[in-house]
Structure 1
Amino acid sequence: MLLAGDIGGTKTVMAIFEVERGATTITRHPVQERTFPSQQYQSLELIIEEFLQDCDYPISAASFGVAGPVVGGRAEVTNLPWVIESEALAERFGFGVHLLNDLEAVGTAVPHLERTDLLTLNEGQPVERGAIGVIAPGTGLGEGFLVWQTTGRYEAHPSEGGHCAFGPTTPLQLEMLNYWLPRMGHVSYERVCSGIGIPNIYTFLRETGHYPEPPWLHDALAEVSDQTPVIVKAAVASEADICMATLQLFMEILGDQAGNLALTVLATGGIYLGGGIPPRILPQLQQGPFMEFFRDKGRFSDMMGRIPVHVIVTPKAALYGTAYDALALSPGELAQ
């Protein structure tokens, strides 16, 4: 039995997967699963402890995908005041623990995903064993990539590309950068292309007078701590011009940055969109500006059109990845 965890700034999902015969694959569906609101807990240890109270299975290994950089078995969660250490967790719970970046976890799952786990935005012409890029707008903006190894499989690698400086590609985007630059200092892609970035786009459009804010929307946003779901819901339902414009700008920036990632790692094997936001806006991604901005790379535009682009629609991708990560570890590696 393998304990897998998807640790995010908004929620933490814990699951137990069973190793199928031959110890080369895991069960498609976890034998036990539970979701926790991350910000209501002071540490990951408390969540694991609570989850395992109702667990009758002997855990042989654990792996946790963390929304933040992982260095030397230690992770600081980007949007939570948590510090996670694999050795401390292993000592407390009595089984080996491995930590990996959340996008590294999603990347580890990519080779194991099925067609039903994906929605394709661009079929393209995938190159066998070509590098693969993963970009995931959720609470933050995660990025990662996969490279084919001589061992005959893909290996996932983390990245913090979401914190690179935002580069505008339209006059409106440039205006937004100039609005936020003196207020933030460093304007990263995550600040304008994620769950925490969508309210920043909205605020810019409202405060600069590009779109009025309807009174009902003002009241709705004032009642919630997380404004992103309200804005996205109103945009998808075409209920407010300012929300529709916010989502439009978000998709432009996401398409551009996904294209930047594809160029950076030469992702001829494909680009995969993960995170919690893309599955909520599938029609908009299919019909909106995403692919236009993805392809718009000057002399490389033709090549960009040949790169497959998929949306990961299964919410369990990171869990699959961490379970496969735990499965692949030898006992000597577990506490590293």
Structure 2
Amino acid sequence: MIVSTHNVPSQQSASPRADGPRLLADIGGTNARFALQLASGHIEQIEVLACEAYATLADALRAYLALPQVAAAGAVRHAAIAIANPVDGDIVRMTNHHWEFSVAELRAACGFDTLVVVNDFYALARALPHLAPEHKHQVGGGTARPQAALGLIGAGTGLGVSGLIPNGAGYTALQSEGGHVTFSPANARELAILQYAWGEFEHVSAERLLSGAGVELIYRALAHAAGMEQAEALSAPEISRRALAGECALCDEVLEVFCGMLGTVAANLAVTLGAQGGIYIGGGIVPRLGERFDRSCFRQRFEAKGRFADYLAQVPTWVITAPYPAFIGVSAILAEQLGA
């Protein structure tokens, strides 16, 4: 099932590649996004496929490659995939979806000469220095320091974390699984939510609450605390919709709690990395909240770090608004692999 189709206009010159089009992919727990890079800096034929519609990643890849407009571009010899889970060796098992595969077998099955597979937030981190001003929205104050570390966090099906560390001429991107750090409550309400979550999970990570499933867990916990044991079961998109439409006070409280928790976790990342170049927020949830995120308690909680409040007040926070930023990073990774 194809969810949507988009093209990304290029601001760079287009020089046709002698080795044909390159396939770029960004695989999350819910959607698989594919694109072709037909020339340097020229990304198009973007398709978003629902992961649940395909038994394997190979099936989804072959479905994309079989699309008439994709097949017409010519044979694909080189491909790079950013995927939402750790990548360590040949066998890849997704954390928030059932797909698992051998990189070598997937390369052979799809007829690629080259197949690079990396963590999705590693790829997204690689894209940060290349984001145009119109592709990021600052929330709160602060000014980025040049040649300083950058932090990256994003909530969607899971919670991705990465960063960029200066290495002289450029940056080194981090292969991080920071979304699985243990969640730490910052107030009595969050403590009550954590205690409720302990009833479902032995270990409550930040991802358990800062994700789509986490929005639903916060909703259940707040309903329980309010004595609403028979509260209507709602999905994360419906909770957000009702909150943004002003239809449900409880749903709005869920979003406010979520934004506050994210502020604390983002601040933890900032002080851990010394990210005075700023914190970037990606993922599927926050960019859809629009101005509701701007007026949430996120930035207040980001700066609420006691003796380090002044330090964090100087660190800018941006929401990434580019439609498919991971493609920029995964394209650069593949180019390095191929030497061009």
Which AA in structure 1 matches 2:311?
M
Distance 1:53 1:271 in 2: 39
The equivalent residue for 2:225 is 208
Q: Deviations over 1:171-230 (max 9, x none)?
A: 00011111111321111111111111000000011122266877xxx38x3xxxxx0100
Cα RMSD after superposing both structures: 1.8
Contiguous gaps of at least 5 residues in structure 2: 1-20
The equivalent residue for 1:121 is 139
Is the CA contact 1:43–1:82 (under 8 Å) kept in the aligned structure 2? yes
Pairing 1:91-110 to 2, within 5 Å after superposition: 91-92=108-109, 93-110=111-128
Residues 1:142 and 2:150 aligned together: no
Instruction: Report the 3-state secondary structure (helix = DSSP H, G, I; strand = E; otherwise coil) of the residue aligned with 2:39.
Output: coil
The equivalent residue for 1:302 is 310
Match of residue 61, structure 2, among 48, 51, 56: 48
Contiguous gaps of at least 5 residues in structure 1: 21-25, 222-226, 332-336
Distance 1:228 1:104 in 2: 26
Q: Deviations over 1:60-112 (max 9, x none)?
A: 42111111111024321111111133222222222201111111111111111
Is the CA contact 1:120–1:310 (under 8 Å) kept in the aligned structure 2? yes
Distance 2:294 2:119 in 1: 28
Pairing 1:269-308 to 2, within 5 Å after superposition: 269-308=277-316
Instruction: Report the 3-state secondary structure (helix = DSSP H, G, I; strand = E; otherwise coil) of the residue aligned with 1:50.
Output: helix
Residues 1:159 and 2:176 aligned together: yes
Distance 1:122 1:153 in 2: 27
Is the CA contact 2:77–2:112 (under 8 Å) kept in the aligned structure 1? no
Distance 2:26 2:163 in 1: 18
Is the CA contact 1:66–1:75 (under 8 Å) kept in the aligned structure 2? no
Q: Structure 1 stretch 110-119 or stretch 86-95: which is displaced more?
A: 86-95
Distance 2:322 2:227 in 1: 36
Is the CA contact 2:280–2:320 (under 8 Å) kept in the aligned structure 1? yes
Residues 1:67 and 2:79 aligned together: no
Q: Larger relative CO (CA 8 A, sep 6+): 1 or 2? A: 1
Is the CA contact 1:212–1:242 (under 8 Å) kept in the aligned structure 2? no
The equivalent residue for 1:2 is 22
> What's the TM-score, normalizing by structure 1?
0.89
Q: Structure 1 stretch 156-165 or stretch 129-138: which is displaced more?
A: 156-165
Distance 1:84 1:297 in 2: 42
Which AA in structure 2 matches 1:50?
A
Matched residue count:
315
- Residue 68 to residue 270, structure 1, CA distance change in 2 (3 Å): same
Instruction: Report the 3-state secondary structure (helix = DSSP H, G, I; strand = E; otherwise coil) of the residue aligned with 2:217.
Output: helix
Pairing 1:3-42 to 2, within 5 Å after superposition: 3-20=23-40, 26-27=41-42, 30-42=43-55
Pairing 1:190-205 to 2, within 5 Å after superposition: 190-205=207-222
Distance 2:322 2:133 in 1: 10
> What's the TM-score, normalizing by structure 2?
0.88
Quote the offset at 1:33 in angstroms: 1.5
The equivalent residue for 1:334 is none
Distance 2:135 2:108 in 1: 36
Q: Give aligned-pair identity as a percent.
A: 32
Distance 2:183 2:322 in 1: 29
